[in-house]
Amino acid sequence: MILRGVSALGCGLLFGAGLGISQMSNPAKVIGFLDVAGEWDPSLLFVLVSAVAVTAIAFRFVPRLPRPLFDRAFERAAPENINARLIAGASLFGIGWGLSGYCPGPGVVALARFAPDATLFVGAFLVGSWLYRFAKNQQLVVRSETRSVSLGEVAVCDRVGDIEQKGQATSAPF
Amino acid sequence: MIGVATVLYLLLTGRYAGISGIMRGAVFGDPDRSTDVLFVIGLLLGGVAWRWVGPHETARAANSLWIAAVGGLLVGAGTSLGGGRTSGHGVCGLGRLSLRSLVAVVSFVAAGMVTVYLTNHLLWRSA
């Protein structure tokens, strides 16, 4: 239990330092990576590729171990559902990423340099997550892993300020 | 380093290091959230350590504050809806050779590029 906690702390530290060094926590750098029409800066691509290169090799072997070193079992990976929900979520994230230049991990790392925009970003990230949870718990959002949500419903969820009841949402004229 | 940290996390604790999920876990709490909380503290310390020893390139905010807030809202809702993002799908998912994650990564990079194109080149000149 203690060893597991220490591991989590150490991995977080390594991860955070990696994000800092690779400049993933620098919004201007991220925007530069996304700005294909301007002065495109592809260097973050190498960050992603090298990280994936490491995991691609290790993930073939590690989950075959009987158990992780400091816990009882490996977490199961998410099922392979490709649906509108996945793409809509990814697209929403992409828009937010393009606007702010932050994703969650780098946002936390940027907190360490007391960046006001990072503080706002992390706060808003939690609010956005909470709103989704709230909507889900109220069953305002169709939550079905097997059925894809229609893009109309997703568009309603997007405007978190005026989430409607599911019945109204599906009949709303999109 | 990011890849190594991800692998170590799986090896040691058996968890996939998806940051958005970890942060939600740390704040909204499952019963056993100590691991999530400690990972987030580690992230913060990593940021501090990097500030301390690392090269100090000037990181600057790309856009105004309210845009960062709107972006955060969208990222929070989007990661909840689609089940994770850059680290989860990008680093862990692609590492597992998951088609689902590839679809997600292509979607969010494309959406990000379109957004930056719109904001930087059409709506207002980049600062």
Give the start-to-end residue ranges of the domains of chain A. Answer: 1-77, 81-174
- Its ipTM equals 0.76
Chain B residues close to A51, C-beta within 8 Å: 2-3, 6, 90-91
Q: What is the C-alpha to C-alpha distance for residues B44 and B54, in angstroms, rounded to an integer?
A: 15
Say whether pLDDT at A24 is over 80: no
Minimal CA separation from A80 to chain B, in Å: 6
Minimal CA separation from A168 to chain B, in Å: 20
- The answer to whether residue A5 neighbours chain B at the CB level (below 8 Å) is yes
Determine which helix (DSSP H) or strand (DSSP E) holds A171, and give its type and residue range.
Answer: helix A166-171
Most confident of B16-25, B52-61, B62-71: B62-71
Predicted TM-score (pTM) of this structure: 0.75
Chain A, 90-109: which have a CB under 8 Å from a chain B CB? 90-105, 107-109
Chain B, 46-65: which have a CB under 8 Å from a chain A CB? 46-51, 54, 57, 59-63, 65
Chain A residues close to B61, C-beta within 8 Å: 27-28, 101, 115-117
Dihedral, CA atoms, A92, A97, A102, A107, nearest 10 degrees?
0
Angle in degrees, 0-180, between the axes of helices B2-13 and A2-21, rounded to the nearest 10: 170
Among candidate residues A131, A141, A135, A144, the one with its CA nearest the CA of residue A169: A141
Say whether pLDDT at A173 is over 60: no
Query: Which amino acid is present at B4?
Result: V
Chain B residues close to A148, C-beta within 8 Å: none
Chain A residues close to B49, C-beta within 8 Å: 13, 16-17, 20
What is the count of residue pairs from A and B with beta carbons less than 8 Å apart?
468
The predicted-structure confidence for B94-116, as pLDDT tens digits, reads as follows 666 666 677 777 777 777 788 78
Q: What is the mean pLDDT of chain A?
A: 70
The predicted-structure confidence for A107-152, as pLDDT tens digits, reads as follows 787 777 777 788 888 888 788 778 877 777 776 555 444 444 443 3
CA A37, chain centre distance (Å): 25
Among candidate residues B94, B108, B83, the one with its CA nearest the CA of residue A93: B108
Whether the Cβ atoms of residue B46 and residue A18 lie closer than 8 Å to each other: yes
What's the full length of chain A, in residues? 174
